[in-house]
């Protein structure tokens, strides 16, 4: 009898918690997080997902959410697989999703045509389709703080500023042979023509990420003056190791912002000393906002990070920057519409009118964390600046000032690419922008 | 009890050799078709149709394609992913050149390109068998993957290297692209899958299918009886690749909407081979059962904790998912090495004689 009563009580208690759970879920801003904590890219996916989730948990704990409404972050596991990503999208879009951050170029490409139909914006932060930065043609897609093409132009600018300019030099480009890696090639070819340097390309297939000896043999043969890398996951560490093996000068080897994480260089250690990588978010925990994350989330045991020291690493901070952009866009949308509970359409407005100025960053406790992001109807990529960081054998050290991209040239090419993208799509939704 | 056949008399050879000789089976088929064509489009949610039914049908079709080759003709192939890709890329190129033509027709045409490629890579099967053939089909897979990356003409020189499905209409309704409703896409896929299954079923029960099975069971004996291995094997490769190609085109045009070479990699070849083996070699029902098992079960397992109100991390669920599916595959193959189709047949046999043991 007693046992029955006890079971009954437990069931009742469980039902009650369930009810509480669903009641609070109604009044919250729903942000799905397409994460990948499994699969070949989990090493990169985990810190990104942690940074993203922890910032929102911190906002919920410290401020009670955004504008008084708590934020619910629901993770859906994609394994960096485009098919599972679409499945996650279908499973979560009906729950009032405000914005999608796919963290995979493959998934982004799948979601771009769906965004205007379901009226949920896509924020591919520093990845995805570069052409989507053209706001008139892609009203529902955003890629702050900069596109791959912006980034490539910044890197070329940096090389140009080093010993005697880039003219007449040979640039090697090693890239993951998927959509992501091929994305910057048109710009690179164009810049080569205009600035008078030659480009040698070294594609690395997904299956040979961890065996690049043949590519690096070619690098040795070609002897490029500089190497640029568009890598991801296990490819990065392997490339740096191989470069060190053939004694390629690592301070002339620049990775993009997905090729410069702690997880990439820690296995290489001292051998990777001197390797350069672009970045858009500062490292370390010396920011009031990150201190708050440590205080309210990590130390309170509400984070999924394995170790306290994971906070402040490159990709953790990158995920957090993504969350900051989303949170600020929600806030902007709330201010613009006067509503507390916003929809995907309001969110689009918020993203489009995002003004993450230096002052605002300071208010958020993130002074100098990233270059300001000033968005507009026309500009969905913002053309933000990047900086370079260097691996000193143990950690990343920032070594350059902010390098703005070659906006004029990039913008012109982006518009061409956007035209091309929508050329064969009748009824593609565009928008008019003033000025 | 339910399956009582008493009173069903067969008065002609035609009735006796029908595919579904039992009345209840025929009723069941009509019932399934009714559910698939009417109930699901009316009552299925977007998620159910988009993420469960459409992929299930696509994979079932691909599994049927591989089953023709592996199950009926006995030629193991690991090139299915590549052949699906040929179908998808050729449908994409066809619709680029003929934007006004009915997309459904183009998809059915695209299978012929896959069939041609399949026949070329099927040529070695005349000389080599078994594991050696696996290796050559694997070579086909790798070569095709290479071609999808290295020949930019195939993806219209897109910067992203992906094929993106344009919006196309058929019979005045938008059937592809983001504006096509899930229900419309589902009905198109379903119609094509049902149609091709019907064709394949007729092929298998006819002369061609019988020659395939003779080759499978004993090729020398088949040759002595008068089956020409060249015709039998190459036709199996052609039909199999045709079906796989159509499945690939359906996958991109009606399910994914955009695809990189990743969607046609060797993992998909394995996935479909698992569907065929698990579902049952040489069985059409098995292809559907195998596809359902491999594609739908993980989704159901993934949704279970949330439906029960348990708060488990998405990644933990994924890991548990891998373990459960792996264990189930092993268990099912131990219980019944001939696959789910055989289990289904045994269950049916038991039902026929129930309540008596035999």
Closest residue of chain B to A22, computed from CA coordinates: B309
Is the fold of A28-146+284-370 the same as that of A149-279+388-404? yes
Q: pLDDT (tens digit, 9 = 90+) per residue, A282-331? A: 888 889 999 999 989 888 888 888 888 888 888 899 899 999 999 999 99
DSSP string, A352-419: HT-EE-HHHHHHTT-TTSS--EE--SSBSSTT--BEEEEE-SSSEEE-S--B---HHHHHHHHHHHHH
Cβ–Cβ below 8 Å for B314 and A77: yes
Q: What is the pLDDT of residue A14?
A: 44
Three-state secondary structure call for residue A142: strand
**Two tokens, residue A68:** 């008084």
Q: pLDDT (tens digit, 9 = 90+) per residue, B209-240? A: 999 999 999 989 999 999 998 999 999 999 99
Distance from CA of B178 to the nearest CA of A (A): 5
pLDDT of A1 higher than 50: no
Query: Regarding predicted confidence, which is higher, B160 or A146?
Result: A146
Cβ–Cβ below 8 Å for B46 and A114: no
How many interface pairs between A and B have CB atoms less than 8 angstroms apart?
107
Q: pLDDT (tens digit, 9 = 90+) per residue, A132-155? A: 888 888 889 988 888 888 888 889
Which residues have C-beta within 8 Å of that of residue A91, sequence separation ≥ 6?
Answer: A76, B47, B51, B303
**Two tokens, residue B120:** 């070329």
pLDDT of A17 higher than 70: no
Q: What is the pLDDT of residue B174?
A: 82
Distance CA A195, CA A103 (A): 32
Q: How confident is the model at residue A3 (pLDDT cuts 50, 70, 90)?
A: low
Between the alpha carbon of residue A205 and those of residues A227, A235, A268, A297, B151, the distances in Å are 18, 9, 21, 39, 15
pLDDT of A57 higher than 80: yes
Q: What is the pLDDT of residue B245?
A: 95
Cα–chain center distance at B177: 23
Across A401-415, average pLDDT:
85
Under a CB-based contact definition with an 8 Å cutoff, are residues B284 and B204 in contact?
Answer: yes
pLDDT of A429 higher than 70: yes
Q: Which of residues 64-93 of A touch B (CB under 8 A)?
A: 74-77, 79, 81-83, 86-87, 90-91
Q: Can you tell me which residue has the tokens 């009345």?
A: B23
A182 inside 8 A of chain B by CB: yes
A292 inside 8 A of chain B by CB: no
> Residue B164 is nearest to which of A35, A83, A109, comparing CB atoms?
A109
Greatest mean pLDDT among B15-29, B122-136, B233-247 lies in B233-247
Q: Looking at beta carbons, which residues of chain A come within 8 Å of B299?
A: 87
Q: What is the pLDDT of residue A433?
A: 78
**Two tokens, residue B311:** 């708060």
Across B112-129, average pLDDT:
90
DSSP string, B313-350: -HHHHHHHHHHHHHHHHHHHHHH-TT-HHHHHHHHHHH
Q: Where are the domains of chain B?
A: 40-282
Q: pLDDT (tens digit, 9 = 90+) per residue, A294-303? A: 989 888 888 8
Virtual CA dihedral for B255, B260, B261, B266, nearest 10 degrees?
-50
According to the CATH classification, is domain A28-146+284-370 in 3.40.50.2300? yes
Q: What is the pLDDT of residue B358?
A: 64
Q: Which of A118, A110, A191, A224 is nearest to A408 (CA)?
A: A191
Q: What is the pLDDT of residue B1?
A: 58
**Two tokens, residue B260:** 């990189």
Q: pLDDT (tens digit, 9 = 90+) per residue, B266-304? A: 888 999 999 999 898 888 999 999 999 888 888 888 888
Query: Regarding predicted confidence, which is higher, B54 or A385?
Result: B54
Closest residue of chain A to B146, computed from CA coordinates: A205
> Residue B50 is nearest to which of A90, A116, A177, comparing CB atoms?
A90
Q: pLDDT (tens digit, 9 = 90+) per residue, A174-224? A: 998 877 888 888 889 988 998 889 999 998 887 788 888 888 999 988 889
Q: Looking at beta carbons, which residues of chain B come within 8 Å of A110?
A: 256-258
E-assigned strand segments in chain B = 163-164, 168-170, 173-176, 258-259
- Percent of chain A whose pLDDT exceeds 90: 18
Q: How confident is the model at residue A253 (pLDDT cuts 50, 70, 90)?
A: very high
> Residue B159 is nearest to which of A91, A183, A205, comparing CB atoms?
A183
Distance CA A399, CA A387 (A): 8
Under a CB-based contact definition with an 8 Å cutoff, are residues A147 and A414 in contact?
Answer: yes
Pairing of strands A396-398, A387-391: antiparallel
Would you tell me how many other CB atoms lie within 10 Å of the CB of residue A418?
21
Q: Where are the domains of chain A?
A: 28-146+284-370, 149-279+388-404
Q: What is the pLDDT of residue A186?
A: 87
Distance from CA of B222 to the nearest CA of A (A): 41
B318 inside 8 A of chain A by CB: yes
Comparing A233-247, A349-363, A410-424, B305-319, the range with the smallest average pLDDT is B305-319
Under a CB-based contact definition with an 8 Å cutoff, are residues B14 and B205 in contact?
Answer: no
Query: Regarding predicted confidence, which is higher, A144 or A57?
Result: A57
B354 inside 8 A of chain A by CB: no
A100 cis-preceded (ω within 30 degrees of 0): no
- How high does pLDDT run on average in chain B? 87
Q: Which CATH superfamily is domain A149-279+388-404 in?
A: Response regulator (3.40.50.2300)
Distance from CA of B309 to the nearest CA of A (A): 7
A422 inside 8 A of chain B by CB: no
B160 inside 8 A of chain A by CB: yes
Cβ–Cβ below 8 Å for B160 and A183: yes
Comparing A140-154, A403-417, B159-173, the range with the smallest average pLDDT is B159-173
Virtual CA dihedral for A20, A22, A26, A32, nearest 10 degrees?
130
Which CATH architecture fits B40-282? Orthogonal Bundle (1.10)
Q: How confident is the model at residue B117 (pLDDT cuts 50, 70, 90)?
A: very high
């Amino acid at each position: 009898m007693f046992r029955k009563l006890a079971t009954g009580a437990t069931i009742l208690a469980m039902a009650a918690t369930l009810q509480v759970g669903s009641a609070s879920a109604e009044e919250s801003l729903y942000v799905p997080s397409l994460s990948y904590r499994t699969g070949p890219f989990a090493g990169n996916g985990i810190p990104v997902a942690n940074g993203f989730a922890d910032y929102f948990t911190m906002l919920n704990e410290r401020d009670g959410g955004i504008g008084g409404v708590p934020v619910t972050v629901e993770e859906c596991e994609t394994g960096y697989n485009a098919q599972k990503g679409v499945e996650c999208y279908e499973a979560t879009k009906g729950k009032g999703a405000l914005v999608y951050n796919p963290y995979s170029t493959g998934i982004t490409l799948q979601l771009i045509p769906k965004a205007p139909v379901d009226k949920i914006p896509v924020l591919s932060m520093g990845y995805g389709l570069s052409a989507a930065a053209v706001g008139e043609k892609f009203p529902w897609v955003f890629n702050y703080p900069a596109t791959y093409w912006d980034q490539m132009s910044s890197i070329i600018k940096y090389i140009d500023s080093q010993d005697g300019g880039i003219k007449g030099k040979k640039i090697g480009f090693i890239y993951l042979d998927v959509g992501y890696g091929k994305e910057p090639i048109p710009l690179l070819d164009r810049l080569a023509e205009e600035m008078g340097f030659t480009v040698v390309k070294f594609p690395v297939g997904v299956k040979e990420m961890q065996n690049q000896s043949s590519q690096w043999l070619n690098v040795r043969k070609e002897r490029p003056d500089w190497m640029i890398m568009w890598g991801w996951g296990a490819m990065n560490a392997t490339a740096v190791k191989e470069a060190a093996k053939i004694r390629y000068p690592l301070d002339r080897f620049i990775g993009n912002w997905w090729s410069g994480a702690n997880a990439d260089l820690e296995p290489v250690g001292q051998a990777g000393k001197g390797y350069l990588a672009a970045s858009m978010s500062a490292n370390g925990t010396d920011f009031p906002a990150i201190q708050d994350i440590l205080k309210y989330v990590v130390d309170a045991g509400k984070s999924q990070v394995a170790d306290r020291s994971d906070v402040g690493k490159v990709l953790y901070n990158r995920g957090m920057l993504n969350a900051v952009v989303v949170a600020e866009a929600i806030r902007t949308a709330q201010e613009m519409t006067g509503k507390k509970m916003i929809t995907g359409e309001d969110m689009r407005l918020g993203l489009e009118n995002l003004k993450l100025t230096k002052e605002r960053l300071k208010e958020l406790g993130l002074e100098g964390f990233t270059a300001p992001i000033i968005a507009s109807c026309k500009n969905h990529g913002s053309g933000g600046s990047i900086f370079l960081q260097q691996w000193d054998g143990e950690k990343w050290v920032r070594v350059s000032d902010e390098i703005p991209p070659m906006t004029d040239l990039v913008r012109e090419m982006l518009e061409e690419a956007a035209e091309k993208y929508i050329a064969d799509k009748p009824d593609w939704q565009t928008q008019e922008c003033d000025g | 009890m339910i399956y009582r056949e008493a009173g069903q008399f067969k008065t002609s050879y035609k009735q006796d050799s029908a595919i579904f000789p039992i009345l209840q089976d025929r009723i069941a088929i009509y019932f399934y078709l009714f559910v698939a064509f009417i109930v699901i489009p009316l009552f299925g949610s977007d998620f159910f149709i988009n993420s469960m039914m459409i992929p299930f049908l696509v994979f079932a079709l691909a599994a049927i394609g591989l089953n023709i080759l592996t199950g009926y003709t006995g030629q193991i192939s690991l090139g299915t992913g590549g052949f699906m890709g040929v179908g998808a890329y050729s449908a994409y190129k066809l619709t680029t050149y003929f934007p006004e033509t009915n997309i459904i027709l183009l998809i059915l045409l695209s299978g012929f390109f896959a069939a041609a490629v399949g026949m070329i890579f099927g040529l070695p099967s005349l000389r080599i068998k078994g594991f050696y053939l696996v290796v050559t089909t694997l070579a086909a897979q790798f070569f095709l993957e290479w071609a999808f990356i290295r020949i930019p003409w195939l993806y219209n020189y897109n910067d992203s290297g992906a094929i993106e499905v344009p919006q196309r209409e058929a019979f005045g309704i938008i059937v592809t692209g983001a504006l096509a409703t899930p229900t419309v896409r589902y009905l198109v896929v379903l119609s094509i899958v049902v149609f091709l299954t019907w064709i394949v079923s007729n092929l298998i029960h006819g002369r061609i299918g019988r020659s395939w099975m003779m080759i499978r069971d004993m090729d020398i004996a088949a040759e002595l009886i008068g089956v020409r291995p060249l015709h039998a094997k190459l036709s199996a490769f052609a039909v199999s690749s045709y079906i796989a190609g159509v499945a690939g085109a359906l996958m991109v045009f009606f399910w994914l909407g955009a695809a990189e070479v990743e969607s046609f990699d060797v993992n998909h070849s394995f996935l479909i081979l698992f569907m065929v083996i698990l579902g049952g070699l040489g069985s059409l029902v098995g292809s559907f059962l195998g596809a359902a098992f491999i594609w739908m079960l993980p989704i159901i397992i993934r949704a279970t904790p949330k439906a029960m109100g348990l708060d488990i991390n998405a990644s933990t669920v994924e890991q548990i998912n891998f373990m459960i599916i792996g264990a189930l595959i092993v268990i099912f193959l131990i219980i019944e090495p001939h696959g789910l189709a055989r289990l289904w047949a045994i269950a049916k046999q038991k039902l026929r004689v129930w309540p008596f043991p035999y």
